[in-house]
Amino acid sequence: MSDLPVLLPSAANLLNDAGRQRREGAFRVDLKLWHGVVLVAALAVVLGVAEAAGNAKESPWAVLVNWMPFILWGQEGHWQGFSLNIIISFFAMLIGTVVGAALGLMQVSLLLPVRTGSWIVTQFFRNSPWLVLLFTIMLMLPFEIQIGDTIIPIPDWVKAVIGFSLPVMANISEVVRGAVISLPSGQWESAESLAFTRFQTMWMIILPQCVKRMIPPWMNWYAILAMATPLCSIMGVEESVTFTQQAMSAEGGRPELLAPFYVFLLVIFFIYIYPIARWTVRLERKYSVKI
Amino acid sequence: MIKKLLTVVSTIALALTFGIQAASAGDNDRLMKVLNRGKIVIGVKADYKPWGFRDTSGKLVGMEIDMAQDVADALGVKLELVPVQSSNRMQFVQQGKIDMMIATMSDKADRRKVVGIIDPNYYTSGTNVLASKKAGLKKWEDLRGKPVCGKQGAFYNKPVSQRYGAKIVAFVGNAEAKQALKDGRCVAWVYDDSSIMADLASGDWDGYEMPMMTEDDTPWGLAVPLEERDKLFGRFMAGMIYEWHQSGRLMELEKKWGIQPTAYLKQMNERLKAYSPN
Amino acid sequence: MEAFYEWFQQLYDSTGWNFVFMYDEYERDRLLEAMWVTIKLSLSCLVFSLVVGVIGAWAQGAKSAILRNFIYWYIQAFRNTPPLVQILFFYFVIGNLFPTYDAGGYQEQYIGAFGWAVVSLSFFAGAFNVEIFRAGVEAVPTATVEAAQSLGYSRLKAYLYIVLPLAFRVSLPALNNNLVNLVKTTTLAYIIAVPEMMYTANQMWSDNVNVSEMMIVLFFFYVGLVAILVYFMHRWERSMRIPGYGA
């Protein structure tokens, strides 16, 4: 703490955080164990309230337990429900990472058209609301394509994967770009003096150093993506929120079931995302670069 | 090296663009496809009890599912059910994702331009509201300027708001809309009368009533692809519907699923009953 | 003007591109109102979340431990639950606890869906703002605050005239990020039937079967709105820059 009238360390922290948020595109998902405890307690509370309020034809708890397998993994022999949420998030992250990394590297290219083009693409997909992107992809893509003689069906969840991978790709592109430009220019200069081509510099020197810096924000984006997958329920993709709504209407649309079913969803999402969020924080601390 | 890569990639891209075409349609294409494949894909609702909804194992059940099974049995093919929503059911038929749909769709003139709706209609229902007895609503005009809860995407939201000046407050699901009604955020819930009657009969809604004259008694239509409506597929489905009315199958299904018996089905059954020489 | 609208009718008849809100007055009114509601929603949430942030940041430094704890729990709750669920919770649960008045057959809430959306989203963004403003307030050098006190400023006046302006400039970059996210999050108000752009576009394409056209309109609207916001945000940051601070 300085005696002088200079801005205190929290100013620098705030600037770093803001810069990091702008580079990576979002706040860190910061879940703690007691959040989960509170959610489970909330579930118990709403079940109790529903019990009291309802017609007691069938206890809300029994109803919830009946529908749990359906909401979690759907019908026999299908990957639906919550398992589909996980599958969608996995594939969307995969595509988003690969394409996003390529886009990010294009953003630091020496060629102006490549740089500008990839910048436009990145900014466009970063600033569009996810819901609108999802709607567009799901309604515009055909449900099957014919290449030569074979017909390849494109199921709804694949369209959802593509729809989610677009904003993820744009944000990963920003992460990669941020990581690349955060390296000291000395690295580039020494590589040049050792006669590395640009490609060799990128592949052998810059990217290996960047990978560590990119992992925490990358995992953060996975957590955000996993939390965003319920958006595709609006298009009828057979994941957990769709199934919850169908279960509620099969139960006659009883309003007292609203709270228990939705809090249950919160609980299962928490159980999935909490370990990822904790691991992100641990990795960030482990890989924080001390100059 | 990069140049080489670029040429390879661009050639592949070019090849793909020429190769990819959406599936094309022709005469009786869809029906032929169904028969060759040995499987018919029918779109049904998954969240509209009791026409199409899920049981706890996740299986789709309901009146329209039974009708779909009848169709598959008549054709001698396997049945595959695809859950659809109001917002995508017509598109799915157009695109070919489903071969036909039986999905509580109201028969409207502009919809007939998009999909092949078959005559005769298999059901009718009208628009009505569920309102608290205390609200004392008697006619549709009483809704002017008042908030009315509804479901997003329902076709009667617009006419009710245009004709009677009601302020439609549309929610994603019926559970949310009904909760809002119970909380008193709206004076009534607009939906079709058969659902409302089912809710009133269930006993959860004492103190509520269905006060208005059912409006816009709109027949429901099932649909095949537009280009096959006047060909084999359309004619076959017309025959199926005729048979359902005539044999009383629809009335039987109505009873099975606890739907209030409608005058329309009774009338159609009377009118079309087979001649028996006694 | 009429000719302009007529052209779109012809476009529909000839090509099938149905920009129905151009030639149909009912739809046009609906869409314009939706745009206005979205802008109103975004602005209200922006302003109220700033107010929540300022008050919360001040409360975090308060003497009362109860107040400090309360703010801590508030931030934890709102940062770690999905905003969608928060909106539903405010509308259905908190809304029922509020007084109503009899408006002829139904209970009219004093706060309608729009109001609850504003409240919920403001508290959501406000939770992040509290953290940001707190860091900003902490960044103000103690020597400056002491100098203010020695000049006879009361605690409140020192906060308002000395600390807050400086803290605000420090927090501006982080704050702006938050505000842009807030504008994008307003699409969630669609779940409680607030007639903003997403909800209205959905209604319109259900009624008129013109999904792709409404999609295009939605895209242009949101990307445009965010672009305008980001542009003004950058200009504001540049004009509020503290010399010597920042990269």
- A143 and A260 in a common domain: no
Does residue A290 register a pLDDT over 60? Answer: no
Question: Does residue B16 lie within any of the structural domains?
Answer: no
d(CA B241, CA B250): 9
Does residue B204 register a pLDDT over 80? Answer: no
Q: How far is the alpha carbon of C72 from chain A, nearest alpha carbon, in Å?
A: 13
- A215 and A93 in a common domain: yes
The enclosing domain of B192 has a CATH number of 3.40.190.10
pLDDT interval class at A90 (50, 70, 90): very high
Please tell me if residue A203 touches chain B, with a CB cutoff of 8 Å: no
Q: How far is the alpha carbon of A110 from chain B, nearest alpha carbon, in Å?
A: 14
pLDDT at C109: 67
Which tens digits make up the pLDDT trace of B24-73? Answer: 445 788 888 888 889 999 999 988 878 888 888 888 999 999 999 999 99
- Cβ <8 Å between A245 and B179: no
- Percent of chain B past pLDDT 90, that is, above it, reads 17
| Of C96 and B176, more confident | B176
Mutate to test the interface with C, among B114, B185, B189, B209 (most CBs of C within 10 A): B185
Q: Look over chain A and give the mean of its residue pLDDT values, rounded to a whole number.
A: 85
The enclosing domain of A223 has a CATH number of 1.10.3720.10
Question: Does residue C246 lie within any of the structural domains?
Answer: no
Strands B167-171, B39-45: pairing kind: unpaired
- A76 and A86 in a common domain: no
Which tens digits make up the pLDDT trace of C47-71? Answer: 999 999 988 888 887 788 999 999 9
Give the lowest-confidence range in A205-214, B129-138, C97-106: C97-106
Sequence-distant (≥ 6) Cβ neighbours of residue B110 within 8 angstroms: C209
**From C106, C205, C209, residue closest to B146, measured CB to CB:** C106
- Cβ <8 Å between A8 and C230: no
Q: Look over chain C and give the mean of its residue pLDDT values, rounded to a whole number.
A: 83
- Nearest chain C residue (CA) to B169: C193
Complex-level ipTM beyond the 0.95 threshold: no
Which tens digits make up the pLDDT trace of C19-49? Answer: 777 777 888 888 899 999 999 999 999 999 9
First to last CA, chain A: 21
Question: Does residue C57 lie within any of the structural domains?
Answer: yes
The enclosing domain of C47 has a CATH number of 1.10.3720.10
d(CA A231, CA A234): 6
Give A32's contacts in chain C (Cβ within 8 Å): 76, 80
- B40 and B117 in a common domain: yes
- B69 and B82 in a common domain: yes
- A136 and A47 in a common domain: no
- B117 and B142 in a common domain: no
Give the lowest-confidence range in A160-164, B36-40, B43-47, B273-277: B273-277
Does residue C95 register a pLDDT over 80? Answer: no
- Percent of chain A past pLDDT 90, that is, above it, reads 23
pLDDT at A56: 58
Q: What is the mean pLDDT of residues A9-18?
A: 80
Chain B to chain C Cβ contacts (< 8 Å): 69
pLDDT at A158: 93
- Cβ <8 Å between C109 and B90: no
Does residue A115 register a pLDDT over 90? Answer: yes
Which tens digits make up the pLDDT trace of A249-276? Answer: 888 777 778 778 888 888 888 888 888 8
Whole-angstrom CA distances from A144 to A140, A159, A239, B89, C239 are 12, 11, 21, 16, 53
Give C90's contacts in chain A (Cβ within 8 Å): none
Chain A to chain B Cβ contacts (< 8 Å): 93
Q: What is the mean pLDDT of residues C79-96?
A: 78
Question: Does residue B87 lie within any of the structural domains?
Answer: yes
- Cβ <8 Å between C207 and B158: yes
Give C28's contacts in chain B (Cβ within 8 Å): none
Q: What is the DSSP string of B121-183?
A: PSEEEEEEEEEEGGG---SGGGGTTSEEEEETT-TTHHHHHHHH--EEEEESSHHHHHHHHHT
C-beta of residue B241 within 8 angstroms of C-beta of residue B269 = no
Question: Does residue A231 lie within any of the structural domains?
Answer: yes
Question: How many domains, chain C?
Answer: 1
- Cβ <8 Å between A252 and B173: no
pLDDT at A55: 62
Which tens digits make up the pLDDT trace of A225-243? Answer: 998 888 888 778 888 888 9
- A76 and A98 in a common domain: no
Q: What is the DSSP string of A210-265?
A: HHHHHHHHHHHHHHHHHHHGGGGGGGT-SBHHHHHHHHHHHTT--GGGHHHHHHHH
Question: Does residue B277 lie within any of the structural domains?
Answer: no
- B207 and B171 in a common domain: yes
Q: What is the mean pLDDT of residues A215-222?
A: 88
Question: Does residue C12 lie within any of the structural domains?
Answer: no
Structural domain range at position C82: 30-239
pLDDT at C237: 86
Residue-wise burial string across C173-206, b where 16 or more C-beta atoms lie within 10 A, e elsewhere: bbbbbbbbbbbbbbbbbbbbbbbbbbbbbbbbbb
- B191 and B76 in a common domain: no
- A102 and A61 in a common domain: no
**From A67, A235, A246, residue closest to B47, measured CB to CB:** A246
Give B154's contacts in chain C (Cβ within 8 Å): 206
d(CA B222, CA B241): 9
Structural domain range at position A286: 28-80+256-291
